[in-house]
């Protein structure tokens, strides 16, 4: 009986050990709440395998609009937040929901439109003048309308132009409530103007007759930031692995990986981490 008892104890211990090891292996991942632009552009598909090979940590990306990504992270549904609306990011940290925020990379927004260009904005570098021309001519404009970083930036520009575009919703101003790729598809289908981040536009395959019409305005600068979700607020956050990922993004190696991602010879994101030289 004693031998049977000890055999049972040993078997239970071995099963427990295997379970722990299995769980440990399964837990070697983090969740990053991020934007559709980083996903649709192909950036994550390019750089994450390099990080995973180096660290053994899998990165699972939830790609939604910035507003939704921030809400998800605030609810504890992620370990890292990587988005592009700096005022909202700073508030996230100030509210104690994130540990700290760091610049990672940037690109810019552009306005694309059909060859016909009914508002006559082609070649412009003044985004406010372009938006005024679109509104004056009631030319179709497709907005994401989804509280994303792109949508937030667009709304700031309409406000700077002293135009209440939302009041025109359903007429010349159409809100898709969708991600960048879906909004581009919708806007191109209706010959509308669209504001998009340059990375998504470069990687987008269904451009039709649309092309970049307005670019180069400093007000269309598009900064991305990364934040560790607070483990004090959400104890289940995998802080150590999440910080390993953040440190890699901000390191020379991570920054070079971002800079090295190109489509048709065009660089989509430009690294600018404060310690990018480390």
The three-state secondary structure class of 226 is strand
Contact present, 113 and 188 (Cβ < 8 Å): no
Distance CA 259, CA 107 (A): 11
pLDDT value for 17: 43
pLDDT value for 26: 53
Residues of the chain with pLDDT under 70: 1-26, 275-278
pLDDT value for 22: 37
How much is the CA Rg of the chain, to the nearest whole Å?
A: 23
pTM of the model: 0.85
Distance CA 66, CA 83 (A): 6
Distance CA 255, CA 271 (A): 5
- Write out pLDDT tens, residues 46-67: 999 999 999 999 999 999 999 9
Q: Do domains 28-107+224-271 and 109-220 have the same CATH topology?
A: yes
Distance CA 233, CA 166 (A): 36
Residue with tokens 């987008």: 204
Q: Where are the domains of the chain?
A: 28-107+224-271, 109-220
Residue with tokens 């934007």: 35
Residue with tokens 């991020």: 34
The three-state secondary structure class of 264 is coil
At the second CATH level, the architecture of 28-107+224-271 is: 3-Layer(aba) Sandwich (3.40)
pLDDT value for 40: 85
| Fold adopted by 109-220 | D-Maltodextrin-Binding Protein; domain 2 (3.40.190)
DSSP secondary structure letter of residue 196: E
């Amino acid at each position: 009986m004693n031998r049977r008892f000890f055999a049972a104890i040993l078997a239970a211990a071995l099963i427990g050990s295997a379970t722990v090891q299995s769980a440990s292996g399964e837990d070697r991942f983090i969740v990053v709440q991020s934007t559709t632009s980083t996903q649709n552009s192909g950036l994550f598909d390019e750089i994450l395998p390099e990080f995973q090979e180096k660290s053994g940590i899998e990165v699972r990306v939830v790609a939604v609009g910035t507003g939704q990504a921030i809400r998800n992270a605030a609810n504890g549904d992620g370990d890292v937040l990587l988005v592009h609306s700096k005022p909202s990011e700073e508030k996230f940290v100030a509210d104690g929901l994130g540990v700290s925020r760091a610049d990672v990379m940037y690109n810019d927004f552009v306005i694309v439109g059909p060859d016909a260009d009914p508002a006559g904005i082609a070649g412009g570098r003044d985004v406010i003048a372009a938006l005024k021309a679109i509104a004056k001519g009631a030319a179709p404009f497709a907005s994401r309308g989804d509280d994303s970083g792109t949508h937030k930036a667009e709304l700031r520009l309409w406000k700077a132009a002293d135009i209440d575009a939302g009041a025109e919703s359903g007429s010349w101003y159409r809100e898709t409530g969708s991600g960048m790729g879906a909004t581009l598809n919708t806007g191109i289908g209706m010959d509308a103007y669209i504001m998009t981040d340059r990375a998504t536009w470069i990687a987008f395959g269904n451009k039709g007759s649309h092309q970049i019409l307005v670019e180069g305005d400093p007000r269309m600068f598009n900064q991305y930031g990364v934040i560790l979700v607070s483990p004090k607020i959400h104890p289940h956050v995998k802080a150590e692995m999440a910080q390993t990922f953040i440190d890699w993004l901000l390191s020379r190696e991570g920054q070079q990986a971002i800079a090295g991602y190109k489509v048709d010879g065009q660089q989509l994101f430009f690294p600018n981490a404060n310690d990018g030289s480390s």
